[in-house]
Chain A
C-alpha cells in the first residue's frame, strides 16, 4: 500500500500540493486525473522520489520514501517519467535490460535475460530489439520505456502521462497491457492521465485532483458526473452512459 500523509509542496511560494492524505491499496489500476496544474505529476514524482519531499510522509509498503535506501525502493516501485528523453544512444533491448539494474547492479544473469526476453515479447518489441531509440517512432519509444519500467519487476508501477503523443491504436495497446498487468500480474498501477475517457475505460479507481487537493476519489461511474466537469474542469461537456461506463462527449 502507498500511504500519503500530510504532503504539501510548493515552488517559490506557490503552493502545488496542499496537505494531501491518500491511500493507494495494493492491486488494480488507479488513474490520477485533473486539470492542468492540479499537481498530479508532482504527487507522482514525490512518490517516486524524483522530487524531494518538503513536508509530510509517503510510505510504500514498509519503506519510507526519502529515508529508505534508493536501491531497496527501486526493487518495489518503478516509474516511467513524463519526459521520456534518454540522452544516451542505446538499443531497445539494452534499454529494457537496464530496467533490471536494481537487481543485478550491472551484471545481468540468466534470470535477468529471461525476464528481458519475456518483457520484449509482452510489449511486442521483439522486432525492434536491435533498433536505436532515436530510430523508432514516438509511440514505440513510449512502449519501450514502459517495458523498461515493467522489467524492473516491481509490485508498484507509476506512469506519468504515458499516452502523450500516442495515436489511438498505440494508446489503447499500452493501456490494455497495463490493464493485463494489474488483473493477471497482480501489479499495482498508478497512472497520470489527461483523457477522462481513457481513465474511465481502464481504471478501477479514479482520483481527481484540483488546485493541489484531492477533489474526488472512487470508481469511475461514481466519479464522472456533470458536477465534476463543471466544478473541477470548468467545462460543460455532456456525459453519456454506455453499458455501465460513463463517456464524456468531447
Chain B
C-alpha cells in the first residue's frame, strides 16, 4: 500500500513538473507565479471535489453518487444566469471577484442547510429522502435558470455559456487564497473524521451498535461537503457541463480510481489516495490538453466523456453483483 502511495505521489509530481515546464515561452519570473497559481487552483479544486465525493458516497452508502446530484452545479448556473440576466454581461464582468466568490459559497451552503433541515424534518428521515429532495431541487433550479436563459439576449447568452465551464486559464490569487482558507480546514476536518467515517460506512445499525450515532456524523459530513463543493465551484466553475450533468464525473472518476489503486474501506487510505488521483487527473489532464495536444477544449468536457463511460461500467458491474 505504501508503495502505491509513493507511485501516486511520483506521478503527481511529474504531472506538476510537466505542467510547470512544458511549452514554456517567455521569462521564468513571469511563468512561475502565473502557472504556479493555476497549479495550486487545480490541486485545491481536485482535493476539495475528491474529499466531498468520498464523504458523500460514505454517508449515502452508494458508490455511484456524487454531491452534484444534489443540484450544486445547477445552483452555480442559476446564480450566474440571474446575475447576467439582471446586470447584463458587462455588468456581470464588472462585479468584484471576491463578492462573486462569497455569493456562490453562501448560496451553496444555504442549499446545503436547506437539505439538512429537510433531513431533520422527517424525524427519522433517511439519506435516500435527502438525495431525492436534492435531485428534485436540482431539477427545479435547472428549469428556472434555463427559463431565464431563454429570455437573455443571444450575445449575452454566449458569454454566459463561456463562463459555465470550469476553467483554469486565469486564476485570481485573491480567490485562490480565499478558497484555500475555506477548503483546507474543511479537508483537515474530514481527515479528523476518518475513523468515524469507517464506522459510518458499515451502515447505520452497525454504527449505532459501535457507539457512533450515524445521524450526527452524517450531518457533519454534509456540512463539509457543502462547504467544499461551494468553494471549489466558486473558484473554478462547475466541474460538470452546467446544462446537463446529472453527476459530477470528476469526483466519480477519482474516487472509483482511488478504490481500484488502493483497495481499502478505510478513509485513512481512501482520502489521501482520492486526493492524489484527483490531482493527477486534473493536472495531468490539463498538461496533456494544453501543452501536448494544444487543444482549447475545456478539460471538463473530456472528463465528462470518460466519466460517462466509467459511470456505465460501474452501473453494469454493480447490477451483476
Contact = CB atoms under 8 A, between A and B. Distances in A.
B75 interface: no
Given A98-B198, A134-B321, A85 B209 contact: no
**Central interface residue in A49, A72, A75, A101, by most chain B CB within 10 Å:** A101
A166 B206 CA distance: 20
B57 to A, nearest CB: 10
Given A94-B265, A106-B195, A134-B321, A86 B203 contact: yes
Interface in B181-222: 194-196, 198-199, 201-203, 205-206, 208-213
A83 B321 CA distance: 18
Interface in A85-119: 85-90, 94-95, 98-99, 101-102, 105-107
A77 B193 CA distance: 24
Contact of A70 (B194, B203, B212, B321): B212
B219 to A, nearest CB: 15
B321 A81 contact: no
A239 interface: no
Given A86-B203, A89-B265, A75 B195 contact: no
Nearest to B266: A94
A50 interface: yes
B250 to A, nearest CB: 22
Q: Is the interface of A mostly helix, strand, loop or mixed?
A: loop
Contacts of B321: 134
A79 B205 contact: yes
A101 B203 contact: no
Interface string A14-38: 0000000000000000000000000
Interface residues on A, range: 35 or more
Given A86-B203, A87-B61, A106-B195, A98 B210 contact: yes
Given A106-B195, A106-B198, A101 B210 contact: yes
B209 A88 contact: no
Q: Is the interface of B mostly helix, strand, loop or mixed?
A: loop
B265 A106 contact: no
A152 B212 CA distance: 13
B205 A81 contact: yes
Interface in A107-146: 107, 134
A94 B206 CA distance: 14
B319 to A, nearest CB: 14
**Central interface residue in B196, B201, B321, by most chain A CB within 10 Å:** B201
B265 A81 contact: no
A193 interface: no
A78 B202 contact: no
A98 B203 contact: no
Interface in A137-163: 148-149, 152
A87 B201 contact: yes
B50 to A, nearest CB: 18
B77 to A, nearest CB: 32
Contacts of A75: 211
A73 interface: yes
Contact of A99 (B201, B208, B210): B210
A222 B240 CA distance: 68
Given A94-B265, A106-B198, A83 B210 contact: no
Nearest to A94: B265
Given A88-B265, A101-B211, A81 B206 contact: yes
A69 to B, nearest CB: 8
Contact of A98 (B124, B202, B213, B263): B202
Contacts of A106: 194-196, 198
A88 B201 contact: yes
A101 B208 contact: no
B213 A70 contact: yes
Contacts of B213: 70
Nearest to A70: B211
B321 to A, nearest CB: 7
A45 to B, nearest CB: 8
Given A87-B61, A88-B265, A149 B209 contact: yes
Interface of B: 61-62, 124, 194-196, 198-199, 201-203, 205-206, 208-213, 263, 265, 321
Given A74-B211, A98-B199, 6 more contacts: A73-B211, A86-B206, A87-B203, A94-B265, A101-B195, A149-B209
A-B pairs, top 10 by smallest CB distance, nearest first, are: A106-B195, A74-B211, A87-B61, A88-B201, A81-B205, A71-B211, A88-B265, A90-B265, A70-B211, A79-B209
21 contacts: A48-B208, A50-B209, A70-B211, A70-B212, A72-B211, A74-B209, A74-B211, A75-B211, A81-B205, A83-B205, A87-B202, A89-B263, A90-B265, A94-B265, A98-B206, A98-B210, A101-B199, A102-B210, A106-B196, A134-B321, A152-B209
